[in-house]
Amino acid sequence: MVKLSVVVPFYNVQTYAPDALRSLRANAREDFEFLLVDDCSTDETPELLRRAERDLPGAVLLRHQRNGGLATARNTGLDAARGEYLTFLDGDDWVAPGFYSQLVDSIDDLGCDFVRTDHVVCTGRTRTVQRVPHGRRGVSMPPREAILPADRSTSVDYAYAWAGIYHRRLLDAGLLHFTDGLRTAEDRPWIWRLHREAESFAVVGLLGIFYRRGISSSLTQIGDVRQLDFIRAFDQVLAETARDADARSLLPKAVRTYCAIISHHLGNAEESKRFEPAVARKLRTMSAAALRRMPQGILADALNSMDADRAGRLRRLRRGLSGISTSGANCTAGTAGTTTKGAAV
């Protein structure tokens, strides 16, 4: 029986894939499988993966006929996974030797649906530890209780899918798949769904995931239209949360986080000029429409609770683009009955 399935998408990461593959070899066990998903790479990544299929114990190579993005690639791996537990790794990151065995031991001991872990951020030669924003460690508890409060970073703001391990019963229940085609913020609807619908989770102080930040091929460094998928991702968060039985208490957190992400992107567009001009204009238009779709009373409370710079940026946007179409998710309190990295809630 396969104990652990590790889903690893790769797309044009020939410089970094060898580190990821070496780290998988240092974690190999006869009951582990590594699902290597080539998302239609055009560099030397496919050849590296072909070699790994031969040389890496437990490697299973899966190929896309066309590029689908990270969310779709992860889904391909999930569909092929056979493990009792599942986890993820990105093709430009790596893990410490023996880390996955420790991760399996932690969830075995705790007996919960999923476990979340801290990780190490690697920017050039600099290493910093990023911790799950959740105070209780090594204790199984209902994940719904870790969504709030609205005005502080909580577990749903730590959306990295690879920073944890997940029991197969979540996959069988339809909770582990990602929204196909999302090019950024794909982890956001996913982590919210887990925290709303899973029964138990825990956080453990286990370090061993090394996340490579700031590389030029990362989507977080690219200012094209793919970045705007965060709006579709957060519209999904709001729509699904609005249907929850606890929508009245949970929506303020979802709205405030959405506002923080919009403000973060608008700040990037204004200050760093990272977005292409046409994309920056589309960002402002789509963001204004997103603000108009939000439940307006909750939005007003969220803006009043934010710092002056962020709230002012969003208020100016609402005033300046008041005629924008409101098509999309219509999330109101009455209907109840993204790594974006660097954006704080």
Locate 121 and state its tokens. Answer: 């951020």
User: Concatenated DSSP letters for 108-125?
Assistant: HHH--SEEEE-EEEEETT
Burial 232-247 (b: 16+ CB within 10 A, else e): bbbbbbbbbbbebeeb
Determine the pLDDT at residue 331. 45
Burial class (CB in 10 A: 0-12, 13-18, 19+), 22: middle
Determine the pLDDT at residue 223. 61
Per-residue pLDDT of the chain (345 residues; tens, 9 = 90+): 999 999 999 999 999 999 999 999 999 999 999 999 999 999 999 999 999 999 999 999 999 999 999 999 999 999 999 999 999 999 999 999 999 999 999 999 999 999 999 999 999 999 999 999 999 999 999 999 999 999 999 999 999 999 999 999 999 999 999 999 898 999 999 999 999 999 999 999 999 999 999 765 554 445 678 889 999 999 999 999 999 999 999 999 999 999 999 999 999 888 766 788 899 999 999 999 999 999 999 999 999 999 999 999 999 998 875 444 434 444 443 333 334 333 345
Return the SS3 of 62: strand
**Max Cα-Cα span within the chain:** 60
pTM of the model: 0.89
> Could you give the C-alpha distances from 247 to 33, 165, 235, in angstroms and in order?
39, 27, 15
Contact 159, 194 (CB under 8 A): no
Determine the pLDDT at residue 282. 94
Determine the pLDDT at residue 268. 85
Return the SS3 of 5: strand
Determine the pLDDT at residue 276. 84
Q: What CA dihedral angle connects 99, 101, 106 and 109, to 10 degrees?
A: -170
Residue 174, by phi and psi: left (phi above 0), alpha (psi -120 to 50) or beta?
left
